Amino acid sequence: MSQVAYHGRPIVCQKGANAPMDATNEAGALAALTRNLRWAWSPEVQALFREIAPERFRQLRNNPVALLAELPGELPVGTAARAEALRRRLAAYLESDRTWGDTWAHALGPRPVAYFSAEFGIHESLAIYSGGLGVLAGDHLKSASDLGVPLVGVGLFYRDGYFQQRLDAHGWQQEDYVVADPAKLPMARATDREGEPIVVRVEMRTGTLHARVWRLDVGRVKLFLLDTDVEGNSDGDRALTCRLYGGDQHVRIRQELLLGVGGLTALRAAGIRPSVLHLNEGHSAFAALEMARVLMEEEGASFEDAVDRVARLTVFTTHTPVPAGHDRFRAELVEEHLGPLRDALRIDEHRLMSLGRVDPNDPDETFCMTVLALKLSRRVNGVSALHGQVSRRMWHPLWASRPKHEVPIGHITNGVHVPSWLAPEMRQLFDRAFGSGWIERQAEPETWAPIEDVDDAELWAAHRVLKRQLIDFVREHAAREANKRGEGEEVVAACREVLDEDALLIGFARRFATYKRATLVLSDLDRLDGLVNDPARPIQLVFAGKAHPRDDGGKKLLQDIHRATRDPRFAGKVVFLENYDIEVGRALVRGVDVWLNNPRRPLEASGTSGQKVVLNGGLNCSVLDGWWAEAWDGRNGFAIGAGGVHADPAIQDQRDSEDLYRALREEVAPLYYRLGPAGLPVEWIRHMKRSIRTLGWRFGADRMVADYVRQCYLPAAMVTQREMDYR
């Protein structure tokens, strides 16, 4: 035997028939694959590790790093050769200079875009995300990598991550936390130019906050995560980055100070001088103030000049049309935490507070992070066309002298990272239909046109395989969670019998915020009974999602769904999947027939889950809000209502409920069950093809990132090149 150290643990590789390479090379190839998070969107790498130890790999949340740390002595035949081939493919990907970015974004050069986000959803094993905002940020990094756009990510390392969800006997959500082990993640300490580990120090009135910095390689993109669990911090400060969206206002402002000020400091320590700051939501807006401080220190600029120049190189994406989603802090909290930065900026308390107030002279107005980001950015966008309109109305008071339509907030509609969400079975079909290299041409409408020529039976067969996989996943997942709760063999056995692969399957999965109205379809249980148990055209529903730990309204919705799953009328036909995460979401968007989305218009800024469904042949049934308002054409899915908004939310909810039941009863179910001579739902398949053809190219993250490059990054970078050649 020989041993190879990895993360300080010995990997023992048995020589013999099952180990064709020497142990050092074998383990080295496998280790090389795990060190870069490119494996998160590489089905081939995932398949390689899954075949080594299928059940254990699932238990480790599909994490190759964790599996490698406990590799068995003997590996399946051919593992070494496959690992080496994949390692070479990874190296070629990382070293290529023939990318879209090399052609279109080379002007960013050695000064990359710095993309700040409070959460990043890259893979289920790295639990530093809560929902759509984080998954969108993860997809942004992945597409920037694939396109070759010079970009670095900045966030926080939440050791406990977001919570693990479980329901008690009454269906009330309980939260558990699992401490992450950096040794089982593809993380390493970030170092400065001398190779020393970076430690960031952020000054506050009450003392100094220390943070170490981790680096993750996400394909070609580097992601830096700050972690306060270090010597020199108080117990409270050590726990500061413990949990995502946990704690009170005191915790939140410290996290955001660390993200913005500490994040930019970490980049500079690593020798990275960004040409553009991209603030993904207002949480990181303090980065713009820190950039202004750097200009004043290094160039002797005045505060007003520094702020003006920083604003011209800052891009701000707002995601939240809900007032409660915008962080606000009292003046004393701002002074306590930003006092030293304010001193360095040479401004008084009133001037600092005015930057976060709509009315600079209102002493009772709190400091709003979104207002700060809006004032310190020249390029601001919502995340769909409708959200752009909503944002212009919402923030019009900041530009009160202008008509609302001239408020300088545009939009770039969100998209999803195609390789991450496209099922392997559908990828194979697309490879045959679209030709080699189609994934690099995914943002071109012509790429998707050949889907119309795919044989109906072939497309339907691929969808049926994915639906079968989803039902198997739901059954096993539900049985596993029931077993954890100790519900007994009868309940566990019943979980393994839920759902029918021949019945119309509708999925709903997202954060359980009240405006998303998860229970709209449950508003009339007798009518739902008629749909679910229709002898000719039955429907079935799968729900998943988490409520914020402090959102009792969201928890109540979840409890209502749990109660419906226990109703004898819906047993085995309405299912709730606990502990929603990327893995659960991936299974759902790949296998459902229909994706249901019914937010209270216009409060859904964009929504991206339905875009993932499109890639896999599912159809959307949605309120005309967010991305669907600009996607639906009457033949590529289904609309709930006509886009109207009533001043009374209760009346709007009642109308939308009626429209939802009508759509399911009169449009969705009849189309699904209407079979042609060959036993295929020909009209349904025609909708599937139109959905893929008209929407696949428009709502990918490659298109989204390219839009940011052309509309935001390159114009902002020109400011840096002309005026900000600071050392």
In whole angstroms, what is the distance from residue 83 CA to residue 99 CA? 25
What separation, in Å, do the N-terminal and C-terminal C-alpha atoms of the chain show? 52
Residue 273, pLDDT score: 95
Q: Identify whether the C-beta of residue 387 lies closer than 8 Å to the C-beta of residue 393.
A: no
Backbone φ, ψ for residue 485 (5° rounding): -80, -5
Cβ(219)–Cβ(38) below 8 Å: yes
Helices 43-52, 79-95: inter-axial angle, 10-degree rounding? 160
Give the count of beta carbons closer than 10 Å to the beta carbon of residue 635. 11
What's the CA gap between 416 and 704, in Å, rounded?
8
CA distance 389 to 629: 12
pLDDT given for residue 720 in this prediction: 63
Which of 412, 618, 637, 386 is CA-nearest to residue 509? 618
Calpha distance 286→258 (Å, rounded) = 9
If you write DSSP's letter for every residue of 116-137 in order, what string do you get? E-S---S-TTS----SHHHHHH
Q: Where are the alpha helices (DSSP H) in 346-488?
A: 349-354, 369-375, 385-394, 418-421, 424-434, 445-448, 456-484
Residues 578, 563: Cα–Cα separation, whole Å: 14
Scanning 300-330, the segments in alpha helix (DSSP H) are: 303-312
Q: Pairing between strand 539-544 and 574-577?
A: parallel
CB 113 within 8 A of CB 149: yes
Q: Are 254 and 91 in contact (CB under 8 A)?
A: no
The b-or-e profile of 276-310 (16+ CB within 10 A means b, else e) is: bbbbbbbbbbbbbbbbbbbbbeebebebeebbebb
Contact in structure between 574 and 498 (CB atoms under 8 Å): no
Query: How many CB atoms are located within 10 Å of the residue 139 CB?
Result: 30
Name the nearest CA neighbour of 73 among 53, 58, 59, 55: 53
Check residue 506 and give its pLDDT: 98
Contact 617, 690 (CB under 8 A): no
Q: Which of 292, 299, 234, 227 is nearest to 263 (CA)?
A: 227
What's the one-letter identity of residue 500? D
CA quadruple 554, 557, 559, 564: dihedral, nearest 10: -160
Q: In what order do the strands lie in the sheet with 594-597?
A: 574-577, 539-544, 504-509, 594-597, 619-623, 638-640
Could you write out the three-class secondary structure of 619-669? EEEEECCHHHHHCCCCCCCEEECCCCCCCCHHHHHHHHHHHHHHHHHHHHH
CB 249 within 8 A of CB 329: yes
d(CA 326, CA 223) in angstroms, rounded, equals 25
Helices and strands, counts by H and E, the chain? 30, 22
* Segment-wise mean pLDDT, segments of 10 residues, the chain, 727 residues: 29 31 61 96 95 93 94 82 95 95 89 97 96 96 98 97 93 94 95 96 97 98 98 95 92 97 98 96 97 95 96 96 87 97 98 97 96 98 97 96 96 98 98 96 97 98 98 94 86 92 97 95 97 98 96 96 96 96 97 97 95 98 98 98 94 97 98 96 98 98 98 88 50
Residue 173, H or E segment: strand 173-176
Tell me, rounded to whole angstroms, the distance of Cα 103 from its chain centroid: 27
Q: How far is CA 280 from CA 66, 141, 523, 575, 611, in A?
A: 30, 12, 35, 34, 20
Residues 6+ apart with CB under 8 A from 583: 61, 62, 124
Tokens, residue 688: 């599937």
**Helix, strand, or coil (residue 726):** coil
Retrieve residue 259's tokens: 């993200």
Phi, psi of 628, deg, nearest 5: -70, -25
How far is the C-alpha of 491 from the C-alpha of 488, rounded, in Å?
6
Look at residue 726 in the predicted model and tell me its pLDDT: 42
Question: Is the Cβ–Cβ distance between 217 and 147 less than 8 Å?
Answer: no
Going by DSSP bridges, is the β-strand pair 379-382/367-368 parallel, antiparallel, or unpaired?
A: unpaired
The rounded distance, in Å, linking the Cα atoms of 658 and 604 is 20
- CA–CA separation, 266 and 209 (whole Å): 13
Which tokens go with 620? 């959307």
The pLDDT score that the predictor gives to residue 724 is 47
Distance in angstroms (rounded) separating the CA atoms of residues 239 and 248 = 13
Question: What residue ranges in 32-157 does DSSP mark as E strands?
Answer: 113-116, 151-156
